Amino acid sequence: MNVFFFGLGYSAQASAVAIKAMDPGVAIGGTVRGAEKLVGLRAQGLAAQVFDGSVDPALVSDVQRASHVVVSIAPDADGDAVLNHFAGTLAASASLEWLCYYSTVGVYGNFDGHWIDESAVCAPINQRSQQRVVAEQAWRDFAAANKVPLMIMRLAGIYGPGRSSFDKLLAGTAKRIVKPGQVFNRIHVADIGRVTALAAKQKLAGTFNLADDEPAPPQDVVTYAAEMAGMAPPRETDFATADMTPMARSFYADNKKVSNRAIKQALGIELLYPSYREGLRAIHDAR
């Protein structure tokens, strides 16, 4: 495999690590938005290049060599940046064997706390998720037109080392916002990496949720982390009166329990961290 990540961020880097662990000989490259990140990524053996909206010939050459392409760049009002700039390059590639697009479970919208799976109708509430629905379909159309297997991975709330309730507790920014009946799914970044690596190896196609087994109220997660850290949890705050940014508040408009059965069956696996408890325990022990 020759793997190229559009957007070598938190999840993509975990996936690169998992792919390298599976096969150390795999060539891995990708893009970042700014040159300040290049040195660190290249030190990890990742052939990173800057993609800021302009297309460099060296970048085009790397994309053309890729057998597996993973897209981890969010769309905006102008659509999907990768398709806008590289659709022709990818379509003309003689190397391309598999595409993966990181989306979000936010595309489903609100289901009042009920369980859903991939058959649920997408009715996104916010503009970010509406743009994701449009981008998903654009990638399906591209993959069908070019006869390339495409996996769309709808991710739940991502957490892991450096991005967990422990970090918020230590920074003093953790909150226990209580909205009765509200639950969220989460997914540990290591599970994203592992699933991406396995799916790439199998060239898995289709649309799949990647979420944990146990959707839970957000305040319970903060409480559990505080207990492990030996800290007093922040006081509970009612959602209706909580001081929150508009973006943070918008997440609470979506209330659902997301099934992960399809991806586990497709790959024949269980998650490394099936709930926030196992995930936080691993982060705590590593710290």
pLDDT band of residue 38 (cuts 50, 70, 90) is confident
Which pair of tokens denotes residue 283?
């982060």
* Residue 239 pLDDT greater than 90, yes or no: yes
Over the chain, what is the mean pLDDT? 96
Q: Cα(31)–Cα(15) distance, rounded to whole angstroms?
A: 14
| Total residues found in the chain within this entry | 287
For 199-229, write each residue's pLDDT tens digit.
999 999 999 999 999 999 999 999 999 999 9
Q: What percent of the chain has pLDDT over 90?
A: 91
pLDDT band with cut points at 50, 70 and 90 for residue 287 = confident
In 10 A of CB 144, how many CB atoms?
Answer: 10
pLDDT of residue 283: 98
Mean pLDDT value across residues 31-55: 87
What's this model's pTM, rounded to 2 decimal places? 0.96
* pLDDT(255) > 90: yes
What confidence category does residue 55 fall into, taking pLDDT thresholds of 50, 70 and 90?
A: confident
Backbone angles phi, psi at 176, to 5 degrees: -110, 85
What is the structure's pLDDT at 34? 86
In the predicted structure, residue 135 carries a pLDDT above the cut 90: yes
Q: What does the pLDDT average to over 72-77?
A: 96
Q: What is the mean pLDDT of residues 90-113?
A: 97
Phi, psi of 171 (to 5 degrees): -80, -10
Tell me how far CA of residue 100 lies from CA of 13, 17, 165, 207, 228, in angstroms.
Answer: 14, 16, 29, 10, 36
Per CATH, the number for 2-158+187-212+258-273 is: 3.40.50.720
Q: Is the pLDDT reported for residue 183 higher than 90?
A: yes
Domain segments of the chain: what residues?
A: 2-158+187-212+258-273
Predicted pLDDT at 17: 96
Measured between alpha carbons, how far is 92 from 146 in angstroms, rounded to an integer?
Answer: 9
Percent of residues, the chain, with pLDDT higher than 70: 100
pLDDT band at 37 (very low <50, low <70, confident <90, very high): confident
pLDDT number for residue 162: 97
Residue type, 126: N
pLDDT, tens digit (0-9, with 9 covering 90-100), for 146-160: 999 999 999 999 999
Task: Write down the pLDDT at residue 97.
Answer: 98
For residues 1 and 66, give the distance between their C-alpha atoms in angstroms, rounded to a whole number. Answer: 8
Q: What is the pLDDT of residue 120?
A: 98
Which of 67-71, 116-120, 243-247, 252-256 is the least confident region? 243-247
